[in-house]
Amino acid sequence: MNFITNQCQSKNIKLAVHAGFCYGVKRAVETTKKLKLQNRDKEIYVLGELIHNADVINELNALGIKTVDELPENNCGGKICVIRSHGAPYNVLEDIKNKGFELVDLTCPDVKKVQDRAVQLSKEDYFVIILGKEEHPEVIAIMANAQKFASNKERVYVAKNLDALKNIENTIKKEPKIGIVIQTTQRIEYLKEVLDYLAPLSKELRVINTICASTSLRQNEARKLAKESDLMVVVGSKKSANTTHLAEILAPMCKTIHIEDDLELDNYKDLLQDAKNIGITAGASTPDYIINKVIAKLKSI
């Protein structure tokens, strides 16, 4: 596996090739900007943050694209509402259409696949377990869409860790069919851990590995880079699930810092001074220009 290497005096700085925007995020950002260029006189709203990156949200705002948590109730005709890359529950999509908005759905195709698989499991009367964080917008949408087709809402359950599953062990033992999907940005280690736990308890266990290929590639590349590094620098929003998982994976392997931008490097001057081989990776919602600023600052140390 190749890395982008920058040699700077006594430091060897390597950037993971698959760092920064994934195709789903790139598609969402570029399409939203293009929408504004093509509809200069129309108000464009994004329901929730398009991606988890404050710089990108500020850039969209400067273009006149409004990020909102709630949509206006009146006079919505002729306005555009964008669904972010994490997706949205079915009832939210219906509400947007009913209010008269032009709907532009930029749900990541990989996230849409998880929604479809969870719905399929619900329709086939599986007890559906979603492996992920209940408060994450991607998981909220997956859960809502699966619940729509479940015999009752309690037959769709979100487990953020193994302890959450152990809390419903009695239910799992009673269920004839258990179906598993996983948040696209989760760690493969978590999925393996869950399978080891559920296999002896389940009468029928159907597992659909919905971790996206970009996430797997990014995580595997970061692991390899960490083996060659004294220090790993993970760049991206603290709200980004895939970025925080990168930091979690790397921390046991070598010294790891998670920063949102180059300014945060000032908090780790001693650590950076001592490191000879520095590896850099970045989350799927981190723009290239932020990564480049981090590299430039590392070179200046």
Catalytic residues: 138
Tokens standing for 165?
Answer: 């599953």
State the chain's maximal CA–CA distance in angstroms: 64
Q: Which amino acid is at 116?
A: D
Residue 20's identity, in one-letter code, is G
- Rounded Cα gap, residues 201 and 177, in angstroms: 11
Alpha carbons 64 and 103: distance in angstroms, whole number: 17
Structure tokens at 46: 């994004």
Q: Is-contact 84 49, C-beta < 8 A? A: yes
